[in-house]
Amino acid sequence: MSFSQDAKTELCRVPLASRCCAEAELYGVLLYCNTFGAEEVKIVTEHRQFAARAEKLLKRAADLAPVFKSGGEGAAGSDKTKFTLSVTGPEKLKRLHQKYGYDAGRSLAHHINLAVIEEECCKAAFLRGALLAGGSITEPSKGYHLELATSHYNVSREVYSLLLDLGFKPRNTARNGNYVTYFKQSEAIEDLLTLLGAPVAAMRIMNAKVEKEISNKVNRRLNCDEANLDKMVNAAQEQLKAIRKLEEEGSFDSLSGKLKEAAMLRRDNPDLSLAQLAAMTRPAVTKSCLNHRLRKIMEIAYGNVEETKKQ
């Protein structure tokens, strides 16, 4: 099961308590489902629980028994079962349209009838229906994205305003003849899912975010360690080169006692860090003191022109 399907399963467990909310939720389903026309209402879904809930909503909110089919309508190549709920018959459809304040005689350019979603509880129920019928949510480990897609332009504009009223900041786009309202911020998606009745899904997004932060931190740390190691190895290589040059030129033995000690320590321990070499110096010196000595050796080897090597 995808994250989206799991979230919808959770939303389908929200009790159908009050009639006002059942009507509002059915309204959201109708405006975001496949067909809400004058001749037919058709809801097609691969989600078994949603299909069952839509059937219940039609019964409870509109006293309609849809024709329920499974299979058949499946997309070519898809092995998932599709469930189709359809309501036909002019009398029934007229009733349904009138219920939501539409004049079934005219062509239906749908707007949201705000009277249906006046109460706060009904606003959430309406959006739950819209999400169940026309929504999808991306797996949180892959990114944060929740969208609602409808074929009705005005409905999408009005849902956008409704979400603004509820304190959200959605975005709009159009895709394949659908009008899409979407969110990219994880907090907004969490808040919306919680409001609609899917706190477990919201929690999964929060957890995914924490996991991502931890693994980013670990990666940053590893990259940083690696960079430091590279720097250290490069510096040691430079020092070894200078020491070898002094040996070849025969000037190694003319180094002062302290510099000679530093050169020998570096030469004999090419892989050790500055701190380790500093600890081996007799008497032990600080890291920066040893660094100074090694730099001095490089200056001698390259005739004092090595300002650039000082970094």
In the complex, the residues that contact Zn ion under the rule CB under 5 A are: 20-21, 119, 121-122
Nearer to Zn ion, 59 or 145 (CB): 59
- Please state the closest distance from residue 146 (CB atom) to Zn ion, in A: 22
- Please state the closest distance from residue 20 (CB atom) to Zn ion, in A: 4
The helix-helix angle for 120-134 and 3-12 (nearest 10°) equals 140
172 CB neighbour count, 10 Å cutoff: 12
Nearer to Zn ion, 127 or 202 (CB): 127
The helix-helix angle for 257-268 and 287-301 (nearest 10°) equals 100
Nearer to Zn ion, 21 or 297 (CB): 21
Cβ atoms of residues 213 and 186 within 8 Å: no
Nearer to Zn ion, 63 or 119 (CB): 119
Cα distance between residue 291 and residue 276, in whole Å: 12
Nearer to Zn ion, 123 or 152 (CB): 123
- Please state the closest distance from residue 222 (CB atom) to Zn ion, in A: 52
Tell which phi-psi region holds residue 304, choosing left (phi > 0), alpha (psi between -120 and 50) or beta: left
**Among 94, 89, 88, which residue's Cα sits nearest to residue 106?**
94
| Distances, alpha carbon 140 to alpha carbons 2, 3, 7, 9, in Å | 11, 8, 12, 17
Nearer to Zn ion, 122 or 294 (CB): 122
- Please state the closest distance from residue 129 (CB atom) to Zn ion, in A: 12
Nearer to Zn ion, 29 or 255 (CB): 29
| Distances, alpha carbon 91 to alpha carbons 40, 67, 87, in Å | 11, 15, 10
- Please state the closest distance from residue 18 (CB atom) to Zn ion, in A: 5
- Please state the closest distance from residue 37 (CB atom) to Zn ion, in A: 26
Alpha helical stretches, state H, the chain: 3-12, 19-32, 48-62, 90-99, 120-134, 153-165, 186-196, 199-249, 257-268, 274-280, 287-301
Cα 74 to the chain's mean position, in Å? 29
Say whether 283 sits in a helix, a strand or coil: coil
- Please state the closest distance from residue 145 (CB atom) to Zn ion, in A: 28
